[in-house]
Amino acid sequence: MQGKSAGPVDLYIPDQPRDQFEYWQSVPEFTVYPIHPRQKVSHDELNIEFYPVSHPLPTYGLKCRAGKSSLFYSSDAAASDEMWENARETDILLGEASFLAADGELAHRLGHMTTSDLARGALRARPGILVATHLWPGFDRSVLFGEIQSVYSGQVIMAYCGLKISI
């Protein structure tokens, strides 16, 4: 039915902070499930695996597979060796590029990545397509793009509202 929900939406989130987890449990539109490291979830043909990432709050990146297609999402996180290993050779690496390369110290203190972190990670992970996301307002997208391309020569797309990619 168009415009009508078929039931609650499955929502997978960390169980900490507890007050946030309990809030989402109280929202009737969701069936809430806690995330655990390396947890695997399947919905029809979609398989998802959650990976803990570095951020001040409990946060998980995820790898999604459907048939022969794959996507890794870094989530809101600082770069790590494990992240790039988990993202290795996916069709799409969807990664945050919240800060300019020169803002590395601040980005890492806040649990985020710079353009150069993402680009160096893409060199290691070798995705089919790199999609930069979590782009903070106030930064010139062309500057962010230029910094990524100065390190990584593969296909790069800067995320935008409504972006669709077929793989």
pLDDT in tens, 37-76: 999 999 999 999 999 999 999 999 999 999 999 999 999 9
Is residue 34 within 8 Å of 15, Cβ to Cβ? Answer: yes
Is residue 70 within 8 Å of 48, Cβ to Cβ? Answer: no
Does 96 score more than 80 pLDDT?
yes
Is residue 35 within 8 Å of 24, Cβ to Cβ? Answer: no
Does 11 score more than 70 pLDDT?
yes
**Rounded Cα gap, residues 58 and 141, in angstroms:** 28
Q: What are the pLDDT digits (tens) for 108-123?
A: 999 999 999 999 999 9
DSSP-derived 3-state class of residue 92: strand
Show the tokens assigned to 87: 């993202």
Domain boundaries, the chain: 9-36, 39-158
Rounded to 10 degrees, what is the CA torsion of 103, 151, 64, 158?
A: 70
Q: Burial level of 145, CB count in 10 A (0-12/13-18/19+)?
A: middle
**Rounded Cα gap, residues 146 and 124, in angstroms:** 19
DSSP-derived 3-state class of residue 59: strand
Does 1 score more than 60 pLDDT?
no
Architecture of domain 39-158: 4-Layer Sandwich (3.60)
User: Mutual orientation of helices 115-125 and 141-149 as an angle, nearest 10°?
Assistant: 40
- Whole-number pLDDT of residue 6: 80
**Rounded Cα gap, residues 123 and 84, in angstroms:** 9
